[in-house]
Structure formats: C-alpha cells, structure tokens
Chains A and B, each alone.
Chain A
Amino acid sequence: MTTNYRAFAVGLLLCLSSSANSVDLVINRDIDYESLSRNTLRSIFSMRMTQWPNGKPIRVFVMGDKTSQHADFSKHVLGVFPHQLRRAWNRQIYSGMGQAPMKVNTESEMLEQIENTPGAIGYLTEDYINERVRKLSVE
C-alpha cells in the first residue's frame, strides 16, 4: 500500500511539474483564430495542411526533437511522440510530397519568428508569451 501511495505522489508531482512548464500554442497575430482542434493541429504539424482558410501559407516552427518544449508539445498537445512526428516529416520530405517545418533553437527565436512571420504557428512556455503573439486554446 505504502508503495502505491508513494508512486501516486511521485506521479502527481511529475504531472504538476510538467504542467507548470507546459507549452501553449501560439500564432502570428494576423491569423484570426481563438482556438484550433487537435485534428487540425495534427494536419498542420505533420506538414499536410499548407494554408490557412484565408489562403495564406502556414509557416510551422518547431524546436529540436530532444528539447523539453518540443517533447511536451508533441506528446500533450498533438498526442504523438517526437520520433513519430519526425518520421512523418521524413516520409513527406523524401517522397516529394511535403516540406519540413522551420527549426528554431531557442524560445526567444521562436517568439521572434512567430511575431514577424505572417501565417506562423508554433509553441511557447508561459514566460515567453506576450501580446505580440496570439495564444490559442486547443479544442
């Protein structure tokens, strides 16, 4: 029993700590959305959906596969592992069916790109989000 409680407490702690650092979906302010569905997000981040309903190109920004931000976004928002997403990109890139997302190295760079690139979409932790980008909820 004790072990069970301990495991539960550790699990709870892990959940809390990861949600404290969790990332949110952000887009360039010119895209007029308040929320997007998880299925639409999956199409966007697997690089299969290439334009917003107003016809503007979608510019996808991601951080490295092994960063905690990318892992968190993949697993908790999209519901897939980073290696699955990477494979989906590779399948498109090397068959001529699609392109790779743009990679940024830091959250500051992510913020700058989302702010300045029309049609941009990415993710940021709470601390980096400001009024120059639009934070979206996931349906």
Chain B
Amino acid sequence: MSVYGSSPLNKCWAMRLLALLLLSVNGLSASQLDQLDGALQVHGFLTQAYVKTTENSFFGDSQDGSWDFRELGINSSYRFTPSTMASVQLLSRRAGEMYDGSLDLDYAQLDSTIYTADANRVGIIVGRYKNPFGLYNDTRDVAATRPGIFMPQAIYWDRVRNMVLSNDGAQLFGDMQVDEHRFSIRLIGGKTPIDENVEKSYLNPLVDPEMEQDGLTLGGRLLYEWDGGRFNLAYSSAQLTLDAETSMLPDGEIEIDYRVLSAQYNSGSWSLTLEYMQEPLNYSGFGGVMDAGDTTLDGYYLQGTYRLWDDLELFARYEESHYDKEDKRGKKTAQRLGLEAHNFYSRVSTLGLLWEVTEGLIVRSEFSQVDGTIFLSNLENPPPNERSRNWNLFSLLVSYSF
C-alpha cells in the first residue's frame, strides 16, 4: 500500500490549508519571518499549470484542457549551529490521475556536518530526504528550479516518480574543493515510499499489483563541478528490489537499477545539458509469466537554453525514451509482448519560454511534439493499444515562490 496519498476528503482540505498557510506566511514581512538572524526560515511555492494535448491524457483530462497540475509547498528550516540544521517540507501535488493533491511529508531531515575546513565538509543526514539523482531530482516539484514545465520524462519519469523521489534513512555527504575543482559525493541508504503509480507501471493494473520493498534502496551520486558550476559532470545510481503480490499471478520480485549520467555547460547567457539514463529491470517469480518483461530501459535528453534578456529565457529540448535500449522503435518488443510499438518508445521535441517577472514570480509556456506513448500513465489513459502514437502538447505555468 501507498505511504503517500490518502482520502479524497483529506486532499481537499490539504490544498486549502496549505494555500491559506502560504498566503498568511507571505503576508508577513521578511524581517518578521527571518527570526533569530535568519537561523529560522520559512519558504514556499504555489504553482498552477494548464495542459492541453491533441490526443492522450497527460496530467489530467488534457484533451479538453486540464487545470489538474498544481503544486503547493511550504518548508521551514532551523540552523541550531553552523553545522547542524533541521528542515521539513510539506507538499501537496495534484498531477492529473497520478497524484491527487493530498498532503505529503516531502522531507523531514536533520543535517549534521561532522568535519569542516573552508569549503570542504563531511556530514550525515538522517530522516526523510530527497534523493540527489541527476541534476534535478531533489527539487523536481519546484517550478523555479525545473528545466521546464515538465521534467524531461526520459530521465525523470512522472509515472514512477516515487521510485526515486526520496528515502527514509541516512545519507552521507562529502564536499572537497581544490582550486577551481569541486568534488561532491552523496551515499544514500533507506526505504523508498512506494505508491500506486509505481505498482501499476511495473505490473499491469489489471492484476491489482501491490508491492513492498525488499531491503533498502542503496545508491548515491558523484558530482564534479568546475569553475563555480561552469561545467558539471555527475554519475548517479540506485538499486532497489520490490516484492509484488497480484490477484492473478504467483508472487514475484522486481529488481530495478537506475543510473544517470549528467553533463552540463553553463556560460553566462546560455547553457547546454545532456543527461542519459539506463534502467535494467529484472522480473523473477510470477510463475515465469513476467520473464518476457526483462529489459534495460534507457533514455536521454539534450537541452539548450539561451537568455535573451535578464529575465527572459528560451529553450529547446529533444528527448528519447526506449523500453528496450536495443530496440529504439519498439518493434521487437511489440511483437514479443503483443502490443503496438508506440507503447515502447517516445521522442519529444520541445520549445519553451521562461519569463522571470520578479524574483519570485515566473511564467512558462511550452509546446511539444511527441511521437510515442511510453511515459503516459496507466492511471489516466485507456489500454495501451487505444492510445495515439502522434500527439502534441501545449502547456502554460505560473509559479510563485518565496
């Protein structure tokens, strides 16, 4: 069962409560908020998007134009000493049929730096923390830090978002600076909050899958930054095993490996990002029925952004996802599993615009042309063969953060 999510009643008041909290906090002046010389801080964000697709459903009933993409978050942090900080964030996220907007504990962690010398440090984080995967996973729900209205689905799947979102456990971190070179390591170990989105993506929703994690999620990230982030290179990885029960098949186990290679170059007015993901999936048990599902998924995106003026940015992105990295157009997989090929890949070209109206207010607008349906959620779409291979996506987003 899901750790996240709850009753429909809960979701309504959660959103209202959080909105109310955000508005009242925002009404206070910065000096009232930043008590104790800034040691106690409160921040938050409100995001509302509009999504329109020509075919298929993405973040709600988007063929008719969907307003069901909304994110509200509020956090607080307190620095007890320069080397000890506690922080907690509550999140309400409505994402079509994938997330219902109920209140989640996004993170609640205690961060302690054990050793520090200038910019070098070693420390530990305990509690529920966001996983440092790729360049964007740990703030993927915050519009102001995302590389677009939607995360590049080739790396940061929304249909299995919880698989990599956060962990309940511990994280070790170390940073080292040598002249212009900065090395950063994060090692994670903990339990992953599995939800219905994950359950119904790795197994057919028709067999009523229920999953529980076997053991811990282990992984981490190595990050190299040169010249204050002009060039970044990262390798992230995580492994987890899910025990699954279904209504029709014998019990089974799914082993998931998740690896991301990231590279980014930032000059003042433009930046170029490339991330590549590989995810070997291994099904065992299930009376042998799921053995044909064994595969190595992969995907990548290349994004270029250009800052026209101080507050206006243009971007272009191309991404590709494959259910089987050896079968880029899904044809062999389609034959093997008896479904249309478009269910096993996606190719997306996106053009977008970002306008930073003020320090806290941003507006984004994007248009994507999509070939393939691999990242569409089973929770908000008809059975795979009734989905349309070619579709377009237009979206608009307004977000305020403080």
A79 interfacial contact with B, CB 8 Å: yes
A65 interfacial contact with B, CB 8 Å: yes
Q: Name the residue of chain B whose CB is nearest to the CB of A36.
A: B118
CB-based contact B89/A96 at 8 Å: yes
CB-based contact B145/A58 at 8 Å: no
CB-based contact A91/B145 at 8 Å: yes
A39 interfacial contact with B, CB 8 Å: yes
- Per the 8 Å Cβ criterion, residues 38-89 of A in contact with B are 38-40, 42-43, 46, 48-51, 53, 55-59, 64-66, 75, 78-84, 86-88
Residue A91 contacts which of B39, B139, B175 (CB distance < 8 angstroms)?
A: B139
CB-based contact B119/A51 at 8 Å: no
Distance in angstroms from A105 CB to nearest chain B CB is: 9
Distance of A36 Cα from B109 Cα, bound (Å) = 32
Distance in angstroms from A73 CB to nearest chain B CB is: 14
The contact string, 1 if C-beta is below 8 Å from chain B, for chain A 100-123, is 111100000000000001000000
Q: Name the residue of chain A whose CB is nearest to the CB of B88.
A: A96
Distance in angstroms from A80 CB to nearest chain B CB is: 6
Stretch at the interface among B30-38, B241-249, B255-263: B30-38
Point out the residues of chain B lying under 8 angstroms from A125, CB to CB. none
Distance of A122 Cα from B130 Cα, bound (Å) = 31
CB-based contact A93/B228 at 8 Å: no
Distance in angstroms from A20 CB to nearest chain B CB is: 21
Interface footprint category on A: 35 or more
Point out the residues of chain B lying under 8 angstroms from A50, CB to CB. 79, 82-83, 113
CB-based contact A96/B43 at 8 Å: no
Residue B45 contacts which of A49, A53, A75, A94 (CB distance < 8 angstroms)?
A: A94
Point out the residues of chain A lying under 8 angstroms from B75, CB to CB. 93-94, 96
Point out the residues of chain B lying under 8 angstroms from A103, CB to CB. 30
CB-based contact B229/A80 at 8 Å: yes
Distance in angstroms from A101 CB to nearest chain B CB is: 8
Point out the residues of chain A lying under 8 angstroms from B179, CB to CB. 39
Please judge, given known A-B contacts A39-B177, A49-B118, whether A94 and B145 are in contact too, CB under 8 Å: yes
| Chain B interface SS verdict (over half) | strand
Point out the residues of chain B lying under 8 angstroms from A57, CB to CB. 37, 39, 79, 81-82
Residue B111 contacts which of A80, A84, A96 (CB distance < 8 angstroms)?
A: A96
CB-based contact A39/B228 at 8 Å: yes
CB-based contact B180/A39 at 8 Å: yes
Distance in angstroms from B113 CB to nearest chain A CB is: 8
CB-based contact B401/A90 at 8 Å: yes
Distance in angstroms from B70 CB to nearest chain A CB is: 16
B77 interfacial contact with A, CB 8 Å: yes
CB-based contact A53/B118 at 8 Å: yes
Point out the residues of chain B lying under 8 angstroms from A102, CB to CB. 34, 37-38
Point out the residues of chain A lying under 8 angstroms from B386, CB to CB. none
CB-based contact A88/B118 at 8 Å: no
Point out the residues of chain B lying under 8 angstroms from A51, CB to CB. 82-83, 116
Q: Name the residue of chain A whose CB is nearest to the CB of B179.
A: A39
Point out the residues of chain B lying under 8 angstroms from A12, CB to CB. none
Distance of A88 Cα from B266 Cα, bound (Å) = 13
Point out the residues of chain A lying under 8 angstroms from B269, CB to CB. 81
Distance of A75 Cα from B310 Cα, bound (Å) = 12
Please judge, given known A-B contacts A66-B310, A90-B139, whether A79 and B228 are in contact too, CB under 8 Å: yes
On A, residues with C-beta under 8 Å from B are: 38-40, 42-43, 46, 48-51, 53, 55-59, 64-66, 75, 78-84, 86-88, 90-91, 93-97, 99-103, 117
The 3 A-B pairs of least Cβ separation, nearest first, read A51-B82, A96-B87, A43-B119
For the complex with contacts A57-B37, A57-B82, A94-B89, 8 further pairs of A-B residues with Cβ separation under 8 Å are A53-B118, A57-B81, A66-B359, A94-B139, A96-B88, A96-B111, A100-B38, A102-B38
